[in-house]
């Protein structure tokens, strides 16, 4: 398992040869202070930072890789480990090893990835749901989309902001793989981490979806560009008796209140949005109904000005990390890593389908 060092890093015990020394050699090569290879320097962006090896004073023969704790900055980290590639065995694996790996997940070659486990924080119950490797191995072509979407569900709603940010980060890694022919990766994983707590530090515009451009409560906008979305109202499709039901999604980092002076400011041509600290009991309500007669169609154009004309970089990044991990089976190559590329592309396709639906 992974141990935590008092200085905030994590310790991964070196595996027996040849796997452990191979992984150590990989990290040493990428993080060589004298490295001037642009491919390897670019790769550093997608790995946990490496701080060399460490041994406890009481057991000097035990060696650990000292790595960045990617989860450290999160309050309620949601974590998923996804093995990437069409093959989970390396070119030097024995016939027995190949058969063993293939039998664990026969669909690996077709799907291109395997969920090794996940831990998801549910705001509704203030608890974590954990799935082990058997969960992922039971996923089929028909169920893999729903199986992965479980990781992005807060207990109240689907975290589409996190899905979108994850796609963009995977695309960056894919871009690196498309441009390199030095290394091939087998049985390596992507580690996904995002903030599961509803008390997020920053509001993302992508958290709010205007469903079918329906009306918004009168008074939502006042004083020009002042926008207030108290109680995290999200207008839904259903209508009943002249009312639109609006439900609160507790798991998303929704708009609490965007005030002209403190929360919605234009600086250097960009908009800065910050969440105000509101009392929990006053913010979260299970549902609220908005009378049809209180809807004002004139509000929509002003909302569109706020929602649809934000700088692209504002919409891109939620509080999400996607890092490559596990490098015991990385080998030199002179061709593209087509198996890993296939897995990344297929994973992106599944995540896009989750967004579309």
- Give yes or no: residues 175 and 113 share one domain: yes
**Predicted confidence (pLDDT) at residue 184 exceeds the cutoff of 50:** yes
Indicate if the pLDDT at residue 284 is higher than 50: no
**Tens-place pLDDT, residues 217-250:** 433 333 333 333 333 333 333 333 333 333 333 3
Residue 249: the pLDDT is 36
The answer on 37 and 24 residing in a single domain is: yes
Q: Which of 131, 105, 110 is nearest to 120 (CA)?
A: 131
- Regarding whether 179 and 74 lie in a shared domain, the answer is yes
Across the strands, what pairs with 331?
184
Domain span at residue 39? 1-69
Residues 35-81 have pLDDT tens digits of: 999 999 999 999 999 999 999 999 999 999 999 999 999 999 999 99
What pLDDT was estimated at residue 318? 72
Q: 90 with 188, same domain?
A: yes
Cite the beta strand spans of 151-242 per DSSP E: 183-185, 188-195, 221-222, 226-227, 233-240
Are 114 and 99 within one domain? yes
> Does 192 share its domain with 331?
yes
Least confident range of 6-10, 23-27, 94-98, 259-263: 259-263
Confidence (pLDDT) at 350: 98
Say what the pLDDT of residue 198 is: 76
Lowest mean pLDDT among 105-114, 138-147, 290-299, 346-355: 290-299
In sequence order, which residues have a C-beta less than 8 Å from that of residue 148 and are 6 or more positions away? 80, 115, 139, 350, 351, 354
Looking at the structure, tell me whether residues 52 and 75 fall in a common domain. no
Contacts of 1 (CB under 8 A, 6+ apart): none
pLDDT of residue 311: 35
What is the C-alpha to C-alpha distance for residues 97 and 88, in angstroms, rounded to an integer?
Answer: 10
């Amino acid at each position: 398992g992974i141990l935590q060092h008092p200085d905030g890093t994590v310790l991964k015990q070196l595996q027996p040869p040849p796997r452990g020394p191979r992984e150590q050699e990989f990290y040493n090569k990428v993080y060589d202070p004298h490295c001037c290879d642009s491919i390897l320097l670019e790769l550093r962006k997608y790995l946990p930072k490496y701080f060399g090896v460490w041994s406890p004073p009481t057991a000097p023969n035990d060696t650990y890789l000292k790595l960045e704790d990617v989860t450290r900055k999160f309050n309620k980290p949601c974590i998923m480990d996804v093995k990437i590639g069409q093959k989970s065995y390396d070119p030097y694996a024995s016939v027995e090893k190949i058969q063993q790996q293939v039998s664990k997940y026969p669909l690996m070659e077709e799907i291109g990835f395997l969920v090794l486990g996940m831990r998801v924080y549910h705001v509704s119950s203030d608890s974590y749901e954990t799935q082990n490797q058997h969960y992922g191995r039971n996923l089929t072509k028909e169920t893999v989309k729903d199986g992965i979407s479980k990781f992005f569900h807060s207990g109240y709603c689907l975290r589409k902001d996190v899905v979108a940010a994850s796609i963009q980060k995977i695309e960056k890694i894919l871009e690196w793989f498309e441009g390199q022919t030095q290394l091939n990766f087998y049985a390596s994983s992507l580690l996904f981490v995002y903030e599961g707590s509803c008390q997020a530090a920053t509001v993302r515009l992508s958290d709010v979806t205007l469903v079918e451009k329906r009306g918004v409560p009168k008074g939502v906008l006042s004083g020009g560009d002042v926008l207030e979305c108290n109680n995290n109202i999200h207008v839904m499709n259903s209508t009943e008796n002249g009312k639109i039901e609006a439900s609160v999604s507790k798991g998303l980092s929704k708009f609490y209140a965007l005030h002209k002076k403190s929360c919605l400011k234009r600086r250097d041509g960009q908009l800065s949005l910050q969440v105000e600290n509101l009392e929990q009991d006053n913010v979260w309500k299970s549902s609220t109904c908005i009378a049809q007669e209180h809807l004002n169609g004139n509000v929509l154009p002003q909302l569109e000005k706020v929602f649809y004309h934000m700088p692209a970089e504002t919409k891109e990044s939620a509080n999400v990390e996607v890092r490559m991990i596990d490098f015991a089976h990385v080998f030199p190559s002179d061709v593209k890593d087509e198996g890993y590329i296939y897995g990344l592309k297929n994973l992106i396709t599944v995540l896009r389908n989750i967004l579309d639906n």
